[in-house]
Amino acid sequence: MSGSDGKKSSSPGVMDWIGSACRFATDRNDFRSFLSVSTASSRSKMQISSDIVIGSTMSAQELFVAAARECLSAGRKSLSVPQSLDLAAQVSAVDLGLKPALLYDSNSAGADQVQRYLSSLQSSQLVSKSLLTLDLNGNALIVNPVTVRTNVEQLFHHGGMSVIDVRHSLEKPAIAEPLTEELKSMTHDLLLLLRGFELKEAEKPLYVGERSEDWNLCTVFGLLLGYPVTYWFDQTKSFENCLSMTPLTVTTASATWLPDSAGHTCRLYSFSVPAALLQDTQPNLENWRLRLQERFQQQNVLKDLRVCQSTVTLPSVCL
């Protein structure tokens, strides 16, 4: 009887010990789980914190390059770093009013991608909100609407641009009447378009629409890009021209872009004029150069403006 009572009296102690051991094991597993989760959480927080610090310390050049490589890929191929820097310098020049617009041709990215790139720059406060993406018959342009309108109005009211007739039927290029009825109509439509665009901060590309179907895009690009010389041909008859084996004087303007301490040299302008017509177009070329120098002196993002000329002769010229 006493043996039986002794066995019963020891049972609660054994059970208590087993219960304590189980609780210890459970608590230890819980602690390990907690420690694992806490460590992972800490690592995650450290990674997020690290990413924020890295993002906040990126230079302007790095932000420009990151936006270009993220937004402007063609297929699986992104822009190279030099391409991204060239594009950044030109967009900065448009923002500063040094050039009225940029025709995007770095790769086959479309207007929607160019708009995404521009929006990224604007959200990072790298360029102003006033810049717009224009889709002109499938061609994407980044436009400073105020600068473009000012340039076009000056042409419309005061001249200042030489128009070169390069119809294929001509024996050689010739100076054309700068404001033919066709060019007057096109310029007038373009001005109306630009005045409407100035009032918008677009999140999508602005499409010119049907009114541009009859425009000579070669001439329009000369207007939009701020060239002192542009070409014209009768596109209702032929898209060919008479510039084959014609000596051309090519004018280029380049500068060093300095968003940070490191500089990057880029080309801001490049256009041509038949060498035989250089003297006739010289007043407009000189006026363009002086106005560019004046605007250049009013900013400090780009330095070392260089304008130079060279002569080339090509078997064919695509406009």
Q: Mean pLDDT of all residues in the chain?
A: 82
Instruction: Give the tens place of pLDDT for each residue, 47-57.
Output: 433 333 344 57
Instruction: Give the tens place of pLDDT for each residue, 271-316.
Output: 999 999 999 999 999 999 999 999 999 999 999 999 999 999 999 9
State the Cα–Cα distance between residues 148 and 193, nearest whole angstrom.
Answer: 11
Instruction: Give the tens place of pLDDT for each residue, 178-200.
Output: 667 778 788 888 888 877 777 66
By the 10 Å C-beta count (0-12 exposed, 13-18 middle, 19+ buried), 19 is classed as exposed
- In the chain, what are the domain boundaries? 1-57, 60-242
Bridge partners (DSSP) of residue 274 are: 248
Q: Residues 206, 133: contact at Cβ < 8 Å?
A: yes
State the Cα–Cα distance between residues 167 and 235, nearest whole angstrom.
Answer: 9
State the Cα–Cα distance between residues 7 and 29, nearest whole angstrom.
Answer: 33
Q: Beta strand 264-274 with 174-175: parallel, antiparallel or unpaired? A: unpaired
Bridge partners (DSSP) of residue 74 are: 77
pLDDT band at 177 (very low <50, low <70, confident <90, very high): confident
Report which secondary-structure segment, H or E, holds 257: strand 248-257
Q: Distance from CA of residue 16 to its chain's centroid?
A: 75
Q: What is the pLDDT of residue 200?
A: 66
State the Cα–Cα distance between residues 293 and 281, nearest whole angstrom.
Answer: 19
Lowest mean pLDDT among 1-10, 49-58, 60-69, 75-84: 1-10
Report which secondary-structure segment, H or E, holds 15: helix 2-56
Q: Residues 212, 220: contact at Cβ < 8 Å?
A: yes
